[in-house]
A and B are shown apart, each in its own frame.
Chain A
Amino acid sequence: NAGVTQTPKFRILKIGQSMTLQCTQDMNHNYMYWYRQDPGMGLKLIYYSVGAGITDKGEVPNGYNVSRSTTEDFPLRLELAAPSQTSVYFCASSYQNGAQYFGPGTRLTVL
């Protein structure tokens, strides 16, 4: 049981480049989430999904897009990367009223 997996672990982007952060879970959770964590801070919700085909914005969605075509996968797309998007990105999943289980994170630097 792998839980929540994220790729890549690390990435450096140039300003204006785009990339997709991958997230997969094998726990058959219907809810999935993307957070970002800036240095010394707590987590802020970017987007979430309550099931395949259903997504919604969180607290800090600007500059990001998501899709959820399957229960297992919830990729996060960064378009036109900016230095302000330098952060650690966490994907998480849960049942509706359960604890969220997190992936190992992706450390992204935009230069």
Chain B
Amino acid sequence: AQKITQTQPGMFVQEKEAVTLDCTYDTSDQSYGLFWYKQPSSGEMIFLIYQGSYDEQNATEGRYSLNFQKARKSANLVISASQLGDSAMYFCAMREVDSWGKLQFGAGTQVVVTP
């Protein structure tokens, strides 16, 4: 069964606007971690942000923030003040407890930032 669901295959956003990328997950574990990665057209996978299931505050890293709603099992990524360089594929991933650090990835959301 799919554990990470990203329902938006693609999005357009204007420069300087904020964009929210949806991610829902499925787990019965109480302890887990949620990650977002960026994959630009050059192909590398870049770690953006991490949220632990017991973290009470939403994670933030510069222009990236993670809107974590535990009861709804959602971990949406918010990119504020979009830049042209934010155009990329974005993947949500989850690590469950006792999984030896293994990540399960969603299918990704393609973001295109327009001038």
Contact = CB atoms under 8 A, between A and B. Distances in A.
A90 B45 contact: yes
Interface residues of B, number: 19
B44 A42 contact: no
Interface string A89-105: 01010101111111011
Interface of B: 4, 33, 35, 37, 43-47, 50, 91, 100-103, 105-108
Contacts, number: 54
B51 to A, nearest CB: 11
B100 A100 contact: no
Nearest to A95: B101
A43 interface: yes
A58 B33 CA distance: 19
A101 B108 CA distance: 18
B33 A97 contact: yes
Given A31-B100, A97-B101, A99-B35, A42 B107 contact: yes
A105 B43 contact: yes
Given A42-B108, A99-B35, A88 B101 contact: no
A56 B100 contact: yes
